A = this chain, B = another copy of it.
Amino acid sequence: MENSRCENCIIRQFNSLRAMSREELKKVSDSKTTKKLKKGDPLFEEGEKLNGVFCVRNGVSKLSKLSANGKDQIVKLATKGEVIGQRSVIAEESANLSAIAVSDMEVCFIPKESINTTLQSNPNFTLEVLRHMAHDLKEADDVIVNMSQKTVKQRVAEAFIYLKNNFGLDEDGFLALTLSREDISNVVGTATESAIRIISEFKKKGLIHTSGKKIGIKNEKKLQELVNGF
């Protein structure tokens, strides 16, 4: 399968692996394993020690953390081209988040040895990973501010816009990534009933429309105004 060689993998263009040399890439390719996951399957669970990272070829995974009250908080949705588990491997800590597939996925598992040796010898690669993490950190800061300063309604509206911008639309114009109402509430950080109620309200106001679990944005402008506080 020539297509399964990292050297030829297009996904690589989107993540830090592009800073690897030809030889480094060859090593990674030789040591990696490919894995298929079904919706709902875990890549790893919170607290688990990771022996490597996952490079997403297809599908989407939610990264979430269980809170004391038994609810999951989704911290990030990772999709094609993203590398999952970097943070834990780099910090040499067990995973602080669980990763679960929210759609069928295809991922490559890269053993940490390949990563670590490259980190120690290729400053370009390390710098590239660092830049990615700097970006993630900024996003995390933004999420903190949103969580504490925006209303649930604003956060739901923002989530829909985020889903559109990051995962796009399907052929019928619905958000391509379909999340359960519970997952939506876990992204937004609210009770499932509250999220459902707000979805109903948005429907009534003509901001969105739905078909089963699928959600379509009808009036993005108004949705965005809502996010900004009218």
A144 and B75 in contact, given A87-B137, A91-B134 (Cβ under 8 angstroms): yes
In the complex, A37 has a CB within 8 A of chain B: no
Query: Complex Cα distance A97/B141, Å?
Result: 9
Cβ contact within 8 Å between B144 and A147: yes
Q: For A147, what are the chain B residues with a Cβ–Cβ distance below 8 Å?
A: 144, 147-148, 189
A contact face: mostly helix, strand, loop, or mixed = helix
In the assembled complex, how far is the CB of residue A46 from the closest CB belonging to chain B, in whole angstroms?
A: 11
In the complex, A90 has a CB within 8 A of chain B: yes
A148 and B228 in contact, given A65-B141, A137-B137 (Cβ under 8 angstroms): no
Cβ contact within 8 Å between B68 and A141: no
Query: Complex Cα distance A141/B129, Å?
Result: 18
Instruction: Give the oligomeric copy count.
Output: 2
Query: Complex Cα distance A134/B134, Å?
Result: 9
Cβ contact within 8 Å between B149 and A71: yes
Query: Complex Cα distance A127/B145, Å?
Result: 28
25 pairs of residues in contact across A and B, judged by CB atoms under 8 Å: A65-B141, A67-B145, A68-B228, A71-B149, A73-B144, A73-B149, A75-B144, A75-B145, A87-B138, A91-B135, A93-B138, A119-B130, A120-B123, A123-B123, A123-B126, A126-B130, A129-B130, A130-B130, A133-B133, A133-B134, A144-B144, A147-B189, A148-B188, A148-B189, A149-B189
* Beyond A121-B123, A133-B134, 15 additional pairs, beta carbon < 8 A: A65-B145, A67-B148, A67-B149, A69-B229, A73-B148, A96-B138, A119-B127, A120-B123, A126-B126, A136-B137, A137-B137, A140-B140, A147-B147, A148-B190, A149-B189
